[in-house]
Amino acid sequence: MESRTASGKTAKASDLNARIIFIKPVAMQKLSMEELNRKSVEEFKRSEKTPVIAVLENIRSAYNVGSVFRTADAFLLEAIYITGYTALPGHKEIKKTALGAEESVEWKHFTNAAAAIESLKADGYKVYAVEQVVGSLMLQKVEFTSEEKIAVILGNEVTGVEQDTIALCDGCIEIPQLGMKHSLNIATAAGVVLWEIIRTRINN
């Protein structure tokens, strides 16, 4: 088999194949730890935070708590409020999934979600439960300004956010789901909702 080269000369397919060179795109090279410009714990604490707080209500899995800490660190959240029987930093399972984020992200513990909500509203936060309710706000349609102080409540893995807690909130945010389960792990839900809130604030 023959083919024409760029210069118009005839070349055999075997010659053309021999000239094929695979070049690894530089743009797709993984970044090193140094290139990621990761903050130290001290730098994180000094950084201006995103005025968003995640509230954890009666989370039974400490692994999930640690995962939320890691997400909060990634998005420079103001803090995490821990309520009820949710495990506190220092727990070995939190350490395993937080990977040190429990040292950088500020946190407070409240006896219950009602006490946390009272504190948040006194500080000027709008409080939203992440839950499926009548009249919930679909996540993709929620619009917050970059100046708004927002708190999102994430509930128990089985029962979700308590109804009494929902009644104290300014609204409920629902993640649209298209499959059979209509249920997400709390750490996954936290990542989805927090990113949707944070992304509109980047470079704003």
Q: What DSSP element (H or E) covers 2?
A: strand 2-4
Asked whether residue 204 is assigned to any structural domain, the reply reads no
Q: How far apart are CA 84 and CA 175, in angstroms?
A: 24
* Among the listed residues 115, 110, 130, 111, the one whose alpha carbon sits nearest the alpha carbon of residue 170: 130
pLDDT in tens, 43-88: 777 778 899 999 999 999 999 999 999 999 999 999 999 999 999 9
Asked whether residue 23 is assigned to any structural domain, the reply reads no
Asked whether residue 9 is assigned to any structural domain, the reply reads no
What residues make up the domain containing 112? Answer: 41-199
Single-letter code of the amino acid located at 79 = A
Q: How many CB atoms lie within 10 A of CB 43?
A: 11
Q: How far apart are CA 204 and CA 201, in angstroms?
A: 5
User: What does the DSSP 8-state code read for residue 147?
Assistant: T
Q: Identify the CATH number of the domain in which residue 179 sits.
A: 3.40.1280.10
pLDDT in tens, 88-141: 999 999 999 999 999 999 999 999 999 999 999 999 999 999 999 999 999 999
Query: Quick check: 4 pLDDT over 80?
Result: no
- How many structural domains are present in the chain? 1
Query: Quick check: 12 pLDDT over 70?
Result: no
pLDDT in tens, 22-39: 666 667 788 887 777 778
Asked whether residue 65 is assigned to any structural domain, the reply reads yes
Asked whether residue 154 is assigned to any structural domain, the reply reads yes
Asked whether residue 17 is assigned to any structural domain, the reply reads no
Beta bridge partners of residue 109, listed in sequence order? 82
